[in-house]
Amino acid sequence: MIETMRDLQTLKRGSEPQIAILIDPEKTDGLAERIKRAERIMNFGYILLGGSTGYGTLQFTRTFSQLRTLTERPIIYFPGSQTIYTLRPDAFLFLIVLNSQNPRFLIGQSRSALKKLELFGLQVRCIPVGYLICEPGGTVGQISEAELIQTDDYRNLMSYVRYCEIVGIPYLYLEAGSGAAESIPAETVRYLRARTDLYLIIGGGIRSISQIRALQKAGADLIVVGNAFETDQFIDDSDG
């Protein structure tokens, strides 16, 4: 049974902030230590498991099982096209790459993943997300064949916001790309927040507590930290 989830906070088991760490199943060296550090510094609320490059079912399953032993944080699938899901996550991101020029990334990839979930009879809560890849885009922008959006092109950004509102997609994920030199600017988030009630997820290029706080203050609902977590280069520049 596939259930649509409208409120991500219902997954949380505690009072952790609206921060998620993105874990690539292929990059698990020192995972236990990195999880402990992230819990100490960020006190994150969710784990997104997946990535934009291919990875095998066995590796995915091993990483999923390892995470279940390391933390009680909810695990949300961040779908990859080649993975067969055999274990039940807490939720599943149903990603619609809004600015992809390839129909496979508009609906095909997520539809394929959902078919696999149903094949294994997994009961999953589905989170419908409009995924918008902004400059520089990185690997995900290349793989998704995205027509990248400039973060100060407010008219273009708002056209995607209105599209999500009209068709009933409650979540909008602005992605700068893994390891991007700069994250989505707080000014962009502030502009969008003043004009929409969509749940705003921000990822790519986030490396410090100060960036997280600036984005949260601007109105982001969920911050995703990926590359800085993988490389253990996240900076705790908080003042307590």
Q: What is the DSSP letter of 53?
A: S
- Per-residue pLDDT, 4: 77
- Per-residue pLDDT, 52: 61
- Per-residue pLDDT, 55: 64
Task: Average the pLDDT over each of 46-60, 127-141, 188-202 and give the range with the smallest value.
Answer: 46-60
Q: Can you tell me whether residue 37 is helix, strand or coil?
A: helix
Six-digit token string for 47 = 């784990």
pLDDT above 60 for 235:
yes
Task: For 68-84, write each residue's pLDDT tens digit.
Answer: 999 999 999 887 655 55
- Per-residue pLDDT, 98: 96
Task: Average the pLDDT over each of 11-15, 38-42, 92-96, 104-108 and give the range with the smallest value.
Answer: 11-15
Q: Are 130 and 166 in contact (CB under 8 A)?
A: no
Alpha-carbon dihedral angle through residues 53, 112, 21, 51, given to the nearest 10 degrees: 0
Q: What is the DSSP letter of 101?
A: S
- Per-residue pLDDT, 216: 95
Task: Average the pLDDT over each of 60-69, 111-120, 147-156, 186-195 and give the range with the smallest value.
Answer: 111-120
- Per-residue pLDDT, 1: 58
* Percentage, residues of the chain above pLDDT 90: 60
Name residue, tokens 């760490």.
21
Tell me the pLDDT of the chain averaged across its residues.
88
Q: pLDDT band for position 49 (50/70/90)?
A: very high
Alpha-carbon dihedral angle through residues 233, 177, 55, 44, given to the nearest 10 degrees: 50
Q: pLDDT band for position 215 (50/70/90)?
A: very high
What span, in angstroms and rounded, lies between the C-alpha atoms of 31 and 37?
10
Task: Average the pLDDT over each of 7-11, 151-155, 208-212, 233-237 and give the range with the smallest value.
Answer: 7-11
Q: How far apart are the first and last CA of the chain?
A: 44
> How confident is the model over 50-62, as a mean pLDDT?
76
| Residue with more model confidence, 232 or 88 | 232
- Per-residue pLDDT, 118: 75
What span, in angstroms and rounded, lies between the C-alpha atoms of 226 and 211?
14
- Per-residue pLDDT, 14: 63
- Report whether the peptide linkage leading into residue 136 is cis, meaning its omega lies within 30 degrees of zero: yes
Name residue, tokens 């049974």.
1
Q: Are 35 and 70 in contact (CB under 8 A)?
A: yes
Task: Average the pLDDT over each of 109-118, 136-145, 146-155, 161-170 and give the range with the smallest value.
Answer: 109-118
pLDDT above 70 for 37:
yes
- All domains of the chain, ordered by start, with CATH? 17-230 (3.20.20.390)
What span, in angstroms and rounded, lies between the C-alpha atoms of 50 and 53?
9
